[in-house]
Amino acid sequence: MCRTSSVRTLGRRPGGCLPPQDDPGAPRREEVTPPWGRDPAPVGESSSGVGRAISPGGRKTAGRAARHAGRGRWDHRPVSDERLPMERYAITFEVKPGSEAAVRELLTTYAPPEWVTPDGARLLGTSIFMKDGLVVRMMEIDGSLPRIMAHLARQPAIQELERKLDEHLVEPRDMSSPAGARAFFQRAMMDHVTTRVAVFEETGV
């Protein structure tokens, strides 16, 4: 007979066998440092809306608990919105065959924009992924997406990047007007499926 989880995940039933409790006499697993550094990067669980990640304060708590290996536990309960200010969005588009190297160069060398809008909304980070002719651009924000997009559209570095990208796109677009830009982003925006957060809690040991 196996031990099962008593906690519930958002929209999911508990189930499945869990590994046996740690044996104090058993050898410890070798602890591996994740590629982002000593503290793990927690992620959040949400089955609707925009994917979000734990705030810097949440990262600090998660990292502190993770350092007490064997003294914490995974908690898959949903986390309140107060701890999840970050929102993630992603768009995807295709580039013409043979232009992959040029597009890769453009997307890795353009000058960064101003990260904070006049009203305080923040662009927290961007990531770009490519596979053959498929490009995925992801950004993490804290604030209103329309305001951040309008802010980025006014940045000279972004305007220059988008102009240079136009010639490489499989599907033409018109970024010269707000209506054209809106149509492109509505077409290119990816659906958010889910984001999961691993919350570490100290047991007080």
CATH classification at residue 99: 3.30.70.100
Handedness of CA 61, 142, 175, 187 (dihedral sign): positive
In a domain, 183, yes or no: yes
Which pTM was predicted? 0.57
Which residue is associated with the tokens 């240079």?
Answer: 164
The answer to whether residue 6 sits within a structural domain is no
Q: How many domains does the chain have?
A: 1
The single residue listed with the structure tokens 């290119």 is 188
Q: For residue 195, is it within any domain?
A: no
Looking at residue 85, its pLDDT comes to: 64
In a domain, 169, yes or no: yes
Under-50 pLDDT residues of the chain: 2-22, 26-83
Per-residue confidence (pLDDT) for residue 203, from 0 to 100: 65
Q: What are the C-alpha distances in Å from 165 to residues 15, 71, 115?
A: 48, 50, 21
Whether 108 maps to a domain, the answer reads: yes
> How far, in Å, CA of 76 to CA of 79, rounded?
9
Within a domain: 35? no
One-letter amino acid for residue 127 of the chain: S
Determine the pLDDT at residue 179. 85
pLDDT, residue 31, reads 40
pLDDT > 90 fraction of the chain, expressed in percent and rounded: 40
| Residue 107 domain-assigned (yes or no) | yes
Within a domain: residue 11?
no
The boundaries of the domain holding residue 155 are: 88-188
